[in-house]
Every structure is written in structure tokens, then in C-alpha cells.
Chain A
Amino acid sequence: MAYKGHAHKFGTDINTDDIIAAKYLNTTDKKELASHCMEHIDKDFMKKVKPGDIMVGGRNFGCGSSREHAPIAIKAAGISCVIAESFARIFFRNSINTALPIIESKEAAERIRAKDLVLVDTKAGVIKNLTRKESYKIEKYPPFMQKIFSSGGLMESLKRKGKK
């Protein structure tokens, strides 16, 4: 898969309260959740983001609560892919389970600047920074996770296995 868009850059330890504050968790409406995405850090984020854009964070992205509303809000905000130096584990599994593309790359997280035009090509295993004319290698998911992700998430993968 390939994802192309402009980068929105965030710092280290971006927690799930930053991504979507708990006070908004009294709904499962994805658009409504998206409307508050990242508002603690950048209240204009939703005005700036365009469909396909890429979110870039530092270390321990998505730490804190187990709320799946976090990857859901990011996805519903139009973000096509999240790149970070490292991810907190529940956020990571929630992203795989809901098929939000998520890529761990220290180099990309450090080198990509806000507004850079970025192309992520998971098949080729590379992130291309079209603004800076750089490229960063990326690892594939372990096969176990890849199976879930490429099914379109955990529930879709269960459907395929006929488990219900």
C-alpha cells in the first residue's frame, strides 16, 4: 500500500488524552471524535488536516489509555498513516486491529519536518520524503500482524477465519 500526504509533526509521549480527550468519549460517532482530534496540543489541527495527510510523532506515541477512540479519531480525521519513533503498545495493537497504517521509524520521525510531502510505500518498504528528497527504509510487520492488518483489521480477519 502507498500513502501520500503532508506531514503533521508532534513531539514525544503523545498520549491518548492528547489525541482525544476523555471528556469526548461519551460517543462512538467517528466524525464527532475526529472533530476533537489533537485539540489539547493544536486546537486548529482539524482545520489544517487534509485527507491523506500523514501524522509524525516521536517516542512512545499513543501512550496512556486503551481507548480505541484514539486511532479511530486519527483515521476519521483523514490521516492516512502514522509514523513515529516508537509506539505505546495498546495504541499499536489498536491500530493493527482497526487497520490504521502505523510505522515505526526513528530516522523518518527525526528527519521529516512539518508540512513535508511524504510518500509511504509499504510494499517497497520505504518512506520517501518528496520535499527533502530523502528516503528511509521501513520494516514489514511480523507475518502474524500483517495477516490481521491486510484483512482490514481483527474483526475482518475473524470473519475470514469464519469464527463467529
Chain B
Amino acid sequence: MGYTITEKILLKHTKAKEIHPGQFIDAKVDLCLGNDITAPFAIEEFEKLGAKKVFDKKKVVLVPDHFAPAKDMKSANQCKVLAGFAKKYDVKNYFEIGRMGIEHALLPEMGLVLPGDLVIGADSHTCTYGALGAFSSGVGSTDLAAAMVTGECWLKVPESMKFVYYGRLNKWVGGKDLILHTIGDIGVDGARYMAMEFCGETIENLPMDDRLSMCNMAIEAGGKNGIIAPDRITAQYVRAIKNKPRAGLGKIYSSDKDAKYAAVKEYDVRKIKEPVVSCPNLPSNTKPVSKLKNVAVDQVVIGSCTNGRISDMRSAAKVLRGKKVKAGVRLIVIPATQKIYLECVNEGLAKIFVDAGGVFSTPTCGPCLGGHMGILAEGEVAIATTNRNFTGRMGHPNSGVYLSNPAVAAATAVTGKITHPGEVM
């Protein structure tokens, strides 16, 4: 019996001779990650254990991004814990404000994750790096603590679900729409405990930023990881990274023809005629954008680990160029990293956002999780390019969040109602 790409990567990182779904393994990690919310607990546990050093100074990554730049004194203390730990144990990959970014945009951009790697992160959206053909999965703070000490993480080998996309994408439809459509189809626990393997001709032609958006949201279907086999687009992306800490293009794995899948789903993407929007309060609550024409919004957020990359910024700017944000609507644009921020400035995108009447912010997870930089008041409604719209996710329990791609969010900022970008162009 053949192996899936996920099984191959897991096997390579254990002492086991063979591997099968359901098996428990202690896997060697190539990288482990924590942020200002999850790392403080991990650091407490690390110190309680009396550990003297981290397993590898280059393989621990700490990013203060959720409530950073610190939104209040308590958050400042949590960020301080990260900085202090990084200094004490000489953690090489600690990213201070001004050099940081939203972790799941930052790590691939810096070349910290390469194809074939095994990455765990105390953040559920760690599954993002599957876009590069790595195994990456979200875990908890205790897992991070253990990995920082031992360089290992216990894992149950997941079954794999194969998602095959074929056909040419319609205009304004991209990776975000594909993943929202998929979650709408299978539900928020449709891939619970599973590896979600995305493939097919549509994926083969899908740009890396779109692939990162797709794998990012595997967790919203309950998935353990999302993964796309590395190909020419992956190689191009990795090759273009300047000053990578490791040479080469990583290790390339792909699924065997006779690999076993728990289920196979096929999507003719030509049938996804228009962008997809998730309605409150679950990512699976999807509708075509035109069905939501009458939904008025108070706030538009463009950014996050899902859609804060340069192509997302360009897509939003294309819609907003020369236009104004509707009176009474707040537009908040948050590029995900310092590099993307600077690209936005150099390409004139920042000017477009500010000219339109929007806010252009320093990188932060901020409003996505109701942290800061755009919290919703009671009864308010937002459309956001983020990944979750659970009850009260962005603020008051009686506020609502719609999830969309950046072009839809930008068009909505212009009209004040959920809008197909084609209508304002």
C-alpha cells in the first residue's frame, strides 16, 4: 500500500519503519512556534520542568503578534515574557515589533519553513505551511513546552482526505473562495482529525498566496493539517526568498498513486460562479456573495494570517483605487508583515487605502480574534478577510462577522453593503 504525502513526511520524522493512520508517534520537529498568547504558558511549563536549554536555538520561533504592539499592560507583560525567554535561552528566531509579522505570513516569507518539514505551532493556524508541502499542525502550549525541551511532539497519524479541484477559476474567485466553498460543503468538523490534501489542475495553477489561504483554513473544517504537494510554483516561491536560513528547496514528497484516503471530494470550480462569503457564526455557513446584497456593514477588515499577503493587498487596492469608503463605514487594512507593509508603501497601495479613507496599520492579528485595533460594538457587523466568525469573535457577543476574500471586502467598504467586486469596477 502506498503512502500519502502526509504519511511520508511523518514517517521521515520518526524512528518507525512504517506508518498507518491511527498510529501514535513521537515525531522530530524541524520547527516549533509560539506567540504572545500561547508561549507564556509554554514558558511557565518549560521553567517548571527545570529545563536548562532549548533543544535547538534555531528551531524555536517566538512571535509577539496577537496583542502586539502591546494593547495593554497585561499584554505587554506577556510580550516581555517572550522577549526575556528569547534572550535567556538565546532563541535565534524571536521577532520583535518592527521586525515581526503575523506568524503564519512571516515564517514562509523568511524561509523558516521549507517543503518536507515537520512544524508544530501553538496556534491553530499553523496548518498554513502545508501550502509549501510541509506537514504543519496546530498544538497547545504544553506541546510547545515539550517540543522546546525534547525537539519532539507526539502525534496520531491522521487519515487523509483528498480534495480535487478542476476547471478554470471564475473572475474574482480565488483560494479563499475555494476553501470557504469546501468548508461550506463538508462542515466545520467535516475533516476532523484528518489531513486535507488539496490537489487537481486548479491547485496546480494556483498562486502560492492562495495556497497559503487554503491550507490556513484547514483547521476550520477540523483538519489536522492542510497540504499541497510541492511543484514548480512552490519551487519558484522558495527560490525567491532572500537570505534563507537554510539552503536548498527542502525535501519534495508527493502521494503515491495507491495511497489510501478516507474520502475523496471533487469540485468543478467553474461551478463556483462568484466569490463565497461565510455568514455568522460559523465558517461553514457559506453563501454566494450576490445572495447577501442587502447586508450592511459597519467595518471592513483586510488582513490576517489568511489574507494579509501582498497579493491580497493588491487585490483590495485594485478595487479601492480612486474610490472612497462609504460614509459611516470603517476600513482597516493590516498587511501581515513588515516586508508586505513596505511593499504596500513602495507600490502605492498604502496611499490608495489611506486616500480612500481607510486605516493602514502595522502588522498584528488584532481584530481577527477581538484583540484590539478594531473591536466591534454591540449590534455591529463586519466583513473581514479573516478565518473565523464565531459568536463574538471580533468583539461584542452580539456582533457579527462575515468572511470573504479581499476584493469582496474592499468592494463592500465602498458601498457599505456586501458587494461583488465586479459591481464597483
Contact = CB atoms under 8 A, between A and B. Distances in A.
B181 interface: no
Contacts of A154: 142-143, 145-146, 154
Contacts of B138: 66, 90
A13 B369 contact: no
Contacts of B71: 26
A6 B49 CA distance: 35
B72 A26 contact: yes
Contacts of A13: 188-189, 282
B391 A17 contact: yes
B141 A22 contact: no
Given A21-B392, A68-B140, A63 B149 contact: no
A105 interface: no
B142 A17 contact: no
Contacts of B391: 17-18, 40-41
A23 B390 CA distance: 14
Interface residues of A, number: 42
B222 A60 contact: yes
A86 B188 CA distance: 12
B371 A22 contact: yes
Contact of A155 (B52, B121, B142, B392): B142
B353 interface: no
A86 B122 CA distance: 22
B38 interface: yes
Interface stretch (A117-125, A128-136, A156-164): A156-164
B74 A17 contact: no
Contact of B142 (A15, A59, A97): A97
B142 A153 contact: yes
Interface stretch (A46-54, A75-83, A106-114, A141-149): A141-149
B255 interface: no
A40 B78 contact: no
Nearest to B24: A144
A66 B24 CA distance: 20
B154 A144 contact: yes
A23 B38 contact: no
A28 B40 contact: yes
10 tightest Cβ-Cβ pairs between the two chains A and B: A144-B24, A94-B140, A26-B74, A22-B369, A60-B189, A97-B142, A68-B140, A66-B124, A68-B141, A66-B138
Interface of A: 13, 15, 17-18, 21-23, 25-28, 40-41, 59-60, 63-69, 72, 86, 88-90, 93-94, 97-98, 142, 144-145, 148, 153-155, 158-159, 163-164
Given A21-B370, A26-B78, 4 more contacts: A26-B71, A65-B124, A66-B123, A66-B139
29 contacts: A17-B390, A21-B370, A21-B392, A22-B370, A22-B393, A23-B370, A25-B67, A26-B77, A28-B40, A28-B44, A28-B78, A41-B391, A60-B188, A65-B388, A66-B124, A66-B140, A67-B38, A67-B140, A68-B141, A68-B142, A89-B192, A93-B139, A93-B140, A97-B142, A153-B142, A155-B145, A158-B149, A163-B149, A164-B51
